Amino acid sequence: MSFDPVFTFGTIAAAALIGLGVSHAIDDTSSQLGGPDAVNELVTLTPGSFDHAQPGEFLKDNHPAPAPVVGETIDAPLEIMKFQVTASDYDRCVSDGACKPADSRLAGNVPATGVSFIDAQAYANWLSARTGETWRLPTDVEWAYAAGERFRADIEGGEGDPADPAKRWLTQYRNETALGRKPDPEPRARGSFGFNAKGVADIAGNVWEWTSTCYAHATVSSGRVARSISNCGVHVVEGFHRTYMSNFVRDGKSGGCAVGTPPDNLGFRLVRDRGGFAQALRRLGLT
């Protein structure tokens, strides 16, 4: 019996990945397997660097402090959905039994809303299996990079004053009020909020988007994070401004660790991770 090391390696790798329940890109034809329309409507962003206010809660000398601003780099092309996942696309996942029905009763060409972080993850897993590619939620950094000029971080209240804790809360309230945001609960057809300079649609509209970044409680020293504890039961949500929601929450107005005025709606868009296959092989020790 002849021995083909290349074939054997490929067989072992494929078997190992299937055993982990992970689907990965094989070639560019995999997106033609009947996946949702959003698969073919991507914006590819070139690598770049930018200054980014970090997400989370920050303390200095045991008192609230502004988020440190850190230089971040996107070092590979970033492929992100041009539009948020629509209700009709999400319903395909529901029909396949891989997603729970959304709380929103809307259908068609409007963003899927009334979905939790858990729901968004389930959809990403389903889409990955459906297309043979790796789809995932963007990180906070990736979302901010794609949002470009429309990105707005946490509503800040400045340094905490131990003698007057309410001072910072009032500053946050005034800063949010100055933004002029009004309640806008009804999701609209995709494209209703226009495109940013990078060609990504509906950024900072009335649908906040789940990210894969966990909420962090950090200590700041000399303007830098000295220590950080992550809570992955809560994730960063991006929209008109950044906030934080518990993973199971589907309606931002119901609470769930939101900061400031709750989000009008919770939805999501995904990134296509071209490096997913190679990364999985490295995790398995096969490269």
What mean pLDDT is reported for the chain? 79
Q: How do residues 240-256 score in pLDDT, each as one tens digit? A: 889 999 999 999 887 66
Give residue-wise pLDDT tens across range 10-58.
Answer: 333 333 333 333 333 333 333 333 456 667 699 999 999 999 999 988 8
Assess whether pLDDT exceeds 80 at residue 175. Answer: no
Residue 102 has what pLDDT? Answer: 96
pLDDT at 215 over 80: yes
Structural domains in the chain, sorted by start: 33-275 (3.90.1580)
Three-state secondary structure readout of the chain: CCCCHHHHHHHHHHHHHHHCCCCCCCCHHHHHCCCCHHHHCEEEECCEEEEEECCCEEEECCEECCCCEEEEEECCCEEEECCCCEHHHHHHHHHCCCCCCCCCCCCCCCECCCCCHHHHHHHHHHHHHHHCCCEECCCHHHHHHHHHHHCCCCCCCCCCCCCCCHHHHHHHHHHHHHCCCCCCCCCCCCCCCCECCCCCECCCCCCEEEEEEEEEEEEEECCEEEEEEEEEEEEEEECCCCEEEECCCCCHHHCCCCCCCCCCCEECCCEECCCHHHHHHHHCCCC
Per-residue model confidence (pLDDT) at position 261: 72
Segment 258-278 shows an average pLDDT of 80
Average pLDDT, stretch 4-13? Answer: 35
pLDDT at 108 over 50: yes
When mean pLDDT is compared across 40-44, 153-157, 166-170, the lowest value belongs to 166-170
The average pLDDT across 80-101 equals 96
**Which has more confidence, 194 or 166?**
194
Q: Where is mean pLDDT largest: 35-39, 113-117, 167-171, 172-176?
A: 113-117
Q: What percent of the chain has pLDDT over 70?
A: 70
* Residue 258 confidence (pLDDT) above 80: no
pLDDT at 260: 62
What pLDDT score does 255 carry? 67
pLDDT given at position 58 = 85
Does residue 278 have a pLDDT over 60? no
